[in-house]
Amino acid sequence: IDTATAVYADRHGAVHALPDAAADAQVRADDRAHVFHSWSAQALIDPLPIAAGEGATFWDYHGNAYLDFSSQLVNLNLGHQHPDLVAAIQQQAGRLATIQPSMASDVRGELARRIAEVAPGDLDKVFFTNGGADANEYAVRMARAVTGRRKVLSMYRSYHGGTATAISLTGDPRRWANEPSDGSVAHFFGPYEYRSAWGSTSPEEEAQRALAHLEQVIVLEGASTVAALILETVVGTNGVLVPPPGYLEGVRALCDKYGIVYIADEVMVGFGRIGEWFAVNRFGVTPDLITFAKGVNSGYAPLGGVVISQKIASHFDTVAFMGGLTYSGHPLACAPGVATFEVFERDGILERVRDLGERVVGPRLREIAAKHPSVGEVRGVGLFWAIELVKDASTREPLVPFNAAGADAAPMGAVAAACKRAGLWPFVHFNRLHVAPPLVISEEELVRGLDIIDEALTVADGYVT
Ligand code: PLP
């Protein structure tokens, strides 16, 4: 897109001016007739046709520009059409478009080395997958093979992916349609001070109570039956829950005590979202396995994986690891992954995320919270924040009930619509608005987006009782 003239190129390279009503109608017609969309009642949705994107902004065919505060699905970390990532894919496609996983490839090897270099402790081998769900499936399979145990513990209020085991691990309503699952998953409560299961009054107390609860779950499930514990380092879709001091260290200690494999799911928070390569680095904790996807290549091609500790990897030195996918470590996905490392280092992306989070987003959101009666709490880190909306600040009753017809339930739908009218594409989940823009967003765009949210929240205030 040429942003000055609002001219975009179609897939044949032909140039059109926006608005382009004919293109909009054609995309809509094909989509509505033939595309079956995820997580949706097909007749109740109206997907927005997108003409073009650049940086933190995308355009519909009517010429409306949207500042993307959701980074698509919190994966577009380096924004739309980053020239280095596009060039990496073009260059790779021009010389070797594909190679099967059991052969060695330069970009796959280089990406694995780069990941191992920034992973904590002795995690220095990478098993590549197509995305986050299959990364979690394979991490669980490794833990089961190594421990000879079957059960997996995961948190309520978590999301681990849409495939069979991953959706069973998930601790939100999306798993219900798949239940009863294979019976090998048990859920536990994690720390969430604002809605503490134990009535805690400080982050430290919440951490200790959550750990005591977790130990009880381990003991009552039978520690000798538990292969793995999987945990989002910062809970993403279910609320941007940053672990309180001591919690992750405590989880590590419990896993050591009971011989349980600790899997850190960093599909959403890895690769810069909180200003770290891996979020565990911020908390000084070393899991046995880390799963990743999304930000590893900003979602420019499907890619995920599991970073594996030496101890677990060595189990498979002489015993075959039974598993793999045709497209594991696909060169067209690894090439933008290597470019991602180069861009992060050259442009100081991690430092800028930490700076923008602390200096711009945190203070502005706290100001917004103080002003709007509908805001119960704001929380987050880096460029990853949640605004939790309530009907009543004293009872903390959520603005919409848990799982109330998803994100579109009024009044959340009305808040989202107000954002969109003002040119901001929001991330809305249950009673929360998340702030998760591309990490390359300019400070001016960030400030503008937060102003739009401030204004849109007056709609939510109207529902406060
Ligand atoms: N784990 C977490 C924490 C996620 O946020 C997601 C996706 O949102 C997944 C796993 C699943 O990843 P994918 O959709 O790439 O399979």
How far apart, in Å, are the Cα atoms of 257 and each of 100, 191, 313, 396? 40, 20, 21, 37
How far, in Å, CA of 304 to CA of 271, rounded?
Answer: 12
Predicted confidence at residue 128, as pLDDT, reads: 98
DSSP secondary structure code for residue 372 in this structure? -
Tell me the pTM: 0.97
The pLDDT tens digits for 238-268 are 999 999 999 999 999 999 999 999 999 999 9
Distance 299 CA to ligand 1 centre (A): 12
CB-based contacts of 343, cutoff 8 Å, min separation 6:
78, 82, 84, 85, 349
Distance 58 CA to ligand 1 centre (A): 23
Pocket probe for ligand 1: among 70, 75, 140, 159, the residue whose CB has the most ligand atoms within 8 Å is: 159
DSSP per-residue string spanning 80-92: BT-HHHHHHHHHH
Pocket probe for ligand 1: among 140, 160, 233, the residue whose CB has the most ligand atoms within 8 Å is: 160
Amino acid present at 208: Q
Distance 429 CA to ligand 1 centre (A): 15
Atom of ligand 1 nearest to the CA of 163: 16
pLDDT tens for the chain, residues 1 to 465? 888 788 899 999 999 999 999 999 999 999 999 999 999 999 999 999 999 999 999 999 999 999 999 999 999 999 999 999 999 999 999 999 999 999 999 999 999 999 999 999 999 999 999 999 999 999 999 999 999 999 999 999 999 999 999 999 999 999 999 998 878 999 999 999 999 999 999 999 999 999 999 999 999 999 999 999 999 999 999 999 999 999 999 999 999 999 999 999 999 999 999 999 999 999 999 999 999 999 999 999 999 999 999 999 999 999 999 999 999 999 999 999 999 999 999 999 999 999 999 999 999 999 999 999 999 999 999 999 999 999 999 999 999 987 655 545 689 999 999 999 999 999 999 999 999 999 999 999 999 999 999 999 999 999 999
Atom of ligand 1 nearest to the CA of 237: 5
Is the Cβ–Cβ distance between 375 and 458 less than 8 Å? no
How far, in Å, CA of 213 to CA of 370, rounded?
Answer: 33
- Give the binding-site residues of ligand 1, using a 6 Å CB cut-off: 73, 131-133, 136, 159-161, 232, 236-237, 265, 267-268, 293, 304
Predicted confidence at residue 406, as pLDDT, reads: 52
Atom of ligand 1 nearest to the CA of 74: 8
Q: How many residues does the chain have?
A: 465
Pocket probe for ligand 1: among 268, 278, 292, 434, the residue whose CB has the most ligand atoms within 8 Å is: 268
Is the Cβ–Cβ distance between 194 and 380 less than 8 Å? no
Distance 160 CA to ligand 1 centre (A): 5
CA triplet 247, 249, 255: central angle to 5 degrees?
105
Predicted confidence at residue 382, as pLDDT, reads: 98
Distance 117 CA to ligand 1 centre (A): 23
Distance 132 CA to ligand 1 centre (A): 5
How far, in Å, CA of 304 to CA of 385, rounded?
Answer: 23
**Strands 151-155 and 185-188, sheet pairing:** parallel
CB-based contacts of 228, cutoff 8 Å, min separation 6:
139, 140, 143, 144, 147, 152, 153, 260, 261, 262, 263
What is the ipTM for the molecules in this complex? 0.99
The residues with which 291 forms a beta bridge, in sequence order, are 265, 306
How far, in Å, CA of 406 to CA of 44, rounded?
Answer: 12
User: Residue 348 phi/psi, 5° resolution?
Assistant: 60, 45
Is the Cβ–Cβ distance between 229 and 262 less than 8 Å? yes
Is the Cβ–Cβ distance between 272 and 75 less than 8 Å? no
User: Residue 162 phi/psi, 5° resolution?
Assistant: -100, -5
Closest-CA residue, ligand 1 atom 12, reads 132
Is the Cβ–Cβ distance between 357 and 380 less than 8 Å? yes
Would you call 445 helix, strand, or coil by DSSP? Answer: helix
Distance 437 CA to ligand 1 centre (A): 17
- The tokens for 345 are 């280092």
The alpha carbon torsion through 4, 7, 10, 15 (nearest 10 deg) reads -130
Distance 133 CA to ligand 1 centre (A): 6
Pocket probe for ligand 1: among 294, 303, 306, the residue whose CB has the most ligand atoms within 8 Å is: 294
Distance 232 CA to ligand 1 centre (A): 10
Distance 174 CA to ligand 1 centre (A): 13
Atom of ligand 1 nearest to the CA of 73: 8
Would you call 267 helix, strand, or coil by DSSP? Answer: coil
Amino acid present at 213: H
